[in-house]
Amino acid sequence: MKWRPDRSGQRTGIANLPLHGGKAPRWLFDRMVKLAREITIVIVTDYGAEEMLRRLSHPHWFQAFGCVLGYDWHSSGVTTVLCGALKEGVKGLERDLGLFVNGGKGRTSRKTPSEIESWGERLSVDPSPLVYASRMSAKVDSAAVQDGYQLYHHTFFFTSGGNWAVVQQGMNDANGYARRYHWLGAGVSSFVNEPHSAILSAGRGSALNLVASESAPARETVTRIAAGQKPESTIADLKKLTTLTLPARHYLTTEDLRPDSLSKILLSAYEHQPRDFEQLLGLQGVGPKTIRALSLISELIRGVAPSYRDPARYSFALGGKDGIPYPVDKTTYDRSIELLATAVNRAKLDLSEKREALGRLAHLSTA
């Protein structure tokens, strides 16, 4: 039985999760590592490493996986702990499984490119496409989609065949929530045009969304400004904008816009002459402030507005038992449980640990 997120099997999404303090106790994490290892071995053995990527890229399945391992169903910590347990669990088995886990939380996330390159050397394959995918997925969710969440976790999964998936998370201190972003490389035809397919949300806000399909004209305009307009002209436009009162409906503001501080980055962009928005976004130093500044010029001076559609469309992966933020999606939950129950049944676990895991599954199915 294959997990089918949608008819094409390539559906990914975004989940909003409340921030929780503390960390998983060592006794629990050690068991999570072992259980995650055994479940992964069964899935990869029965369905292949690419199927594991598809499941990890689906928020419902990912959330259920975290629940089965014993973590709080609605905590933001399920992302970092589950990814950490999975990375530790497959350590030493990567070649046998054909599945490689890189990155993690905080400083570890910044080591992702070097970890991918290290595997490239050991496997005698070119790691550059994977490094690019890792870097661009992070760039998109931090600069091209500006939704108020600062990325602090990035885990990059890939297979021997070169397929990949990303699970990364951002934090919003103001509202006390984290937002999790899922990517599946097989479903990405463009990094800058709707790379997140079927993103669901119960709660929505304001966001600068330059990867929305309706932002295509804005992406072209932003690129033309960066590559075709001299930096001094762009700085002059930005200085004009700081005196304007922007429409209240828009996410963009000039509060932290400092034209002079952007001059070096704009000069670099002009010198590189990016051919499209993806190349512009990938330039060293081009981040949220640069993209925001160019978007302001695009809209208020050139008259080409980007999308302000928040790509997030659900708050929790499976709903809450008390109906908050909405009732549990029983069909999806039961399907996730069925898949994981099969995996646990076939995993080579100690009898006591198998009983504990199946007990959690039984509890979830009757909740």
Q: What is the pLDDT of residues 63-81, one digit of tens each?
A: 778 877 765 544 557 888 8
The reply to whether 279 and 146 lie within a common domain is no
The reply to whether 152 and 248 lie within a common domain is no
Query: Which is higher by pLDDT, 316 or 64?
Result: 64
Under the banding of pLDDT at 50, 70 and 90, the label for residue 313 is: low
* Sheet with 307-309, side-by-side order of all strands: 145-146, 206-209, 307-309
Q: Does residue 112 register a pLDDT over 70?
A: yes
C-alpha to C-alpha distance for 72 and 332, rounded to whole angstroms: 18
Domain end point (choices 265, 284, 309): 309
* Sheet with 177-184, side-by-side order of all strands: 14-18, 177-184, 164-172, 150-159, 99-105
The reply to whether 68 and 201 lie within a common domain is yes
Q: Which domain holds residue 262?
A: 213-309
Tokens representing 207?
């966001």
The residues, ordered by sequence, that sit 6+ positions from 322 with a Cβ below 8 Å of its Cβ are none
3 domain residue, yes or no: no
2 domain residue, yes or no: no
Which span out of 195-204, 236-245, 319-328 was modeled with the highest average pLDDT?
236-245
8 domain residue, yes or no: no
The helix or strand, by DSSP H or E, that contains position 181, with its residue range, turns out to be: strand 177-184
- Report pLDDT for 128: 97
C-alpha to C-alpha distance for 207 and 225, rounded to whole angstroms: 22
Q: Count up the domains in the chain and report the number.
A: 2
4 domain residue, yes or no: no
For 6-28, write each residue's pLDDT tens digit.
434 444 555 455 555 556 677 77
Q: Under DSSP, is residue 159 helix (H, G, I), strand (E, B) or coil? A: strand
Cβ contact 59:317 at 8 Å? yes
Phi, then psi, of 201 in degrees rounded to 5? -160, 145
